[in-house]
Amino acid sequence: MTEKLTGADPARIGGHRLLARLGAGGMGVVYLGRAGSGELAAVKVILPEYADQPEFRARFRREVAAARRVDSPWAVPVTGADPDASAPWLATAFVPGPSLAEAVAMCGPLPPRAMRVLGRMLARALTAVHDAGLVHRDVKPGNVLLAVDGPRLIDFGIARAPEETALTSADMVVGTPGFLAPEQAQAQPASPASDVFALGCLLSYAATGRLPFGTGAVDALLYRTVHDEPDLDGVPDDTRALLERCLAKDPAARPTAREMDEALAEETPADTADWLPDTVVRLIADRSAALLALPDIEETALDATTDGEPTEVPAQAPRPSDRRRFLLLGGAALLAAGGGTALWAAQRDDGTAPTASSRARRWILGVQADLTGPQKTVGQAQERGIRLAVEQFNSRTGKPFTLTLKTADDQGDATRAVKVARALAADRDLLAVIGSTGDETTGASLDSYDAELVPQLTASSAQSVYGVSEPRHFLQAVPGYTGLPSTAAYSLYTQGARRVGVLVDRDGGIPAWQLGHTMFQNLGVLKIAGEPRVAPRLADNLAPVVAEMVAQRPDGFVYTGTPARAAAVARALAQTDFDGLRSLGYPAARPEFLSDAGAAAEGWQIFAPYIDPSAAPVRAFATAYRKRYGSPPPYWAAEAYDVARMIIARLTGTGGRPSRTKLYDLLAKGTYKGLVRTYAFDKENRWLTSNEIFRYEVKGGRYSYAGKVSF
């Protein structure tokens, strides 16, 4: 998707008239540009602060040289470059389609034939890369763009010949975790076989929608890549054996890219879209049609003057009407290729006033939550908290607008989460969405909202990594699993803990691993001796592990996992002579832990991101909630109420209806003092900058609130 040019953007680069922004990264900005011939291009420009650094300029020069050496119809060709310019730039042919990551997230896994065609064409692209004496080193779904006539491999930014000297330190892992070969995960040199491993991961993802070595913390992901077998459930039988060979731990046991091409033996498309499912063809057509809605070129900083002299648009450049006609023809071609797929012109959400003939736009806040599934208690509490905030705002006299709440129940199911997110995001009046309730549904919905530039905020999903996407309009308004343990470890330290056993139960999934592993790391920072243990998912008796840990004479014990197995650990610990501090990871602190553990639950502490609804800071909220719904608020309701009030505060402070992008910037860059905590986000990851959490202790068979803990 595109974004409007800013006033500071250049008007043209290397003979390309810049039309819009395609994205920005740590080192530069990628623009949509048009050459004098009328052809569209993706123009990558290095930021000035990096252009002056010899090592970055050398890396960029290597990227240009690498991309030019690759000759394949399935690799995006270079159309121009100047690595020695004051603002180094690289132009490649523009592919309007989505990335493979977006297509799978929005449309689901590819059918078997589509996966085989994809694999064969990418194998041919890698064959060209390897024949040029290069290793790509970052083959992943985000670096594969889909077009009706086939995929295109992009981004040769870290490609280089195997024998070239790296510009990074010797022990730096280069590439994307989840697609790194075992040798790369261990900081060993990459080879063509490493690209084949990555292609195997990519094809498994395309076929199943899952990464073969899972997701989560980077160190855990790299460990599984090196030591565990891949999860290939759902991969078609006729390609499973080939992918098993691609994912061999030994590089010598993997096929070459050319051998993969021959083994797949699937007929490649002849300029038709019949290899792709209709939903993906429609997505490609929609992306192309959305270009029709690009605004007319606005004056930018370099339009006004260049070295003090007026600048004119070249005479040969097509007028806006010519450009729209050109893009319309491209969209019509996609329509024909898609066998009747509807083509539509996207409407802009730019904050401009509606025309007299259009209806007045609504101000909609969306809520996506699990209202009827496994986490319905949390989802319903959050929906009610958000609804209360909206109703309170709408009851004000002199309010600048009326806010409409639009809810969607994803039932805690990832597949349904994609569908409801796509439906919400398609409403042009939607300004932002709060949700989803759980980690899996939040991760599944990211691409749908990000594709439409909808600001998405979660009040309860704390995962640090979500699949392979890097969402640009997402804010995690809750301390993350990797942020919370620093404060929890400090609290244990202040309570006298100096030697702590940490039991990470793999049955608890990503939350258990991230909480437990990060807790161990933070104990080390505080000079607390840690005794870590990892319980396998299939372990049926954790009592021996508990006894072995207690034998090390710790004065603290931490368990992260599931409520049922937490109860078993609590009972096993109660059978020993251990009398130190006990801490339970908050995802396991549910009512069933109390009932199953019984007396053994007494004394366990929980460090959680949610406040007790009866605590003083939220007492007025609790009163209003009880009056509105006839019952006291559950956990998580106040946090969702806070997030809704933060969005409302930003909407009322803009002086008019903001665009989605402007609203996101206001939320991401601002600071809001809520009832539960102060909300401010760091510039790089958009995580909360504070790790304020709340301590509970089990007393008398209930979770007793012990106050806020800050570090």
CA distance 461 to 466: 10
CA distance 185 to 458: 31
Amino acid code (one letter) for 626:
R
Q: What are the phi and psi torsion angles at 462 (to 5°)?
A: -115, 10
Question: Cα dist. 502→170, 355, 535, 587, 698 in Å?
Answer: 32, 62, 11, 16, 19
3-state SS record for 167-181: CCCCCCCCCCCCCCC
Residues 6+ apart with CB under 8 A from 611: 617, 618, 638, 639, 676, 694, 708
Active-site residue, from 9, 138, 450, 505? 138
Structure token digits, residue 80: 């121009």
Tell me if 325 sits within 8 A of 621, measured CB to CB.
no
290, with CB counted inside 10 A (0-12, 13-18, 19+), is buried
613, with CB counted inside 10 A (0-12, 13-18, 19+), is buried
Tell me if 145 sits within 8 A of 152, measured CB to CB.
yes
DSSP 249: S
CA distance 498 to 553: 11
Structure token digits, residue 607: 């460090």
Residues 6+ apart with CB under 8 A from 489: 519, 522, 523, 525, 526, 528
Quick one: CA dihedral 572, 574, 580, 581, positive or negative? positive
Tell me if 207 sits within 8 A of 115, measured CB to CB.
yes
Question: Cα dist. 275→238, 279, 337 in Å?
Answer: 17, 12, 11
Respond yes or no: is residue 450 known to be catalytic: no
CA distance 418 to 449: 9
Residues 6+ apart with CB under 8 A from 152: 74, 75, 76, 95, 125, 144, 145, 146
- Which residues share a beta bridge with 140? none
Element (H, E) at 205: helix 192-208
Tell me if 139 sits within 8 A of 153, measured CB to CB.
yes
DSSP class per residue in 466-534: -TT---SSEEE-S--TTTHHHHHHHHHHHTT--EEEEEEEGGGHHHHHHHHHHHHHHHHHTT-EEEEEE
User: Which amino acids are annotated catalytic?
Assistant: 138
